[in-house]
Structure 1
């Protein structure tokens, strides 16, 4: 499994958590039972539980960039994609923000609506500009 596939699984796990409200450990254990993430297990595990641990802070940051839009109206898959990317940008030191944004947009193209990639790109780009500094290319 490569990192792109790992991110897709991570988004699926976050989506499942948000929809089902099952215990996170049960969701993760079932994932491991059905899949072999190989060398991406630590990334998936750390990011999944990291997002859940910090979901309130991440959601507050997301809300900051929503203009005339309520977080509860965001499609659950888009929210899962953004939570994953926000976590990477805010809490991970080894993933360039440009990579996280690009991956989020590609996942949105695959799993969400036609308008979602641009929406997600805009939200993440604003985060990078305002919180991290520089531009959305990680500069």
Structure 2
């Protein structure tokens, strides 16, 4: 697994945890930063995970607007928490990170959704992100 794939998983953990606990992502991010300081072998994945989470925090209103616009009759509240987190990560990559090709962002998100969410989540995430990518 590449360091960016690991970073996406770490970002998913942080965003999911914040969502489920009702905490601010920055609070969970700070706790993870303290833990990461003692794990030099995971430094590469930590740096990108932090960039993702910071990017989602900084742009959450715009990201959520894109997801809501292209989710076709699905509100954010109605989505599984894992799907919300995966969509936020990939939408940030699509809209704010020019280093990640759209196809990679979408494929990585679909794999996370398939692994950690419902049986239908992979197709749902793919559909939403494909519409966002076409519109951007």
Scaled to the shorter chain, the TM-score interval is 0.7 to 0.9
Unmatched tracts of structure 2, length 5 or more? none
Higher mean C-alpha deviation, range 33-42 or range 90-99 = 33-42
Higher mean C-alpha deviation, range 67-76 or range 4-13 = 67-76
Aligned equivalents of 1:46, 1:5: Cα separation in 2: 13
CA distances 1:38-91 after superposition (whole Å, capped 9, x unpaired) = 122321112101101111110101111122222210111100000000000100
**Residue of structure 2 in register with 1:69 after alignment:** 74
What's the TM-score, normalizing by structure 2? 0.88
Unmatched tracts of structure 1, length 5 or more? 132-139
CA distances 1:78-121 after superposition (whole Å, capped 9, x unpaired) = 00000000000100010111111000011011100000000000
How many residue pairs get matched? 131
- The structure with the greater share of residues assigned to helix is 2
**Residue of structure 2 in register with 1:17 after alignment:** 18
- CA RMSD, Structure 1 to Structure 2 (Å): 1.6
**Residue of structure 2 in register with 1:81 after alignment:** 86
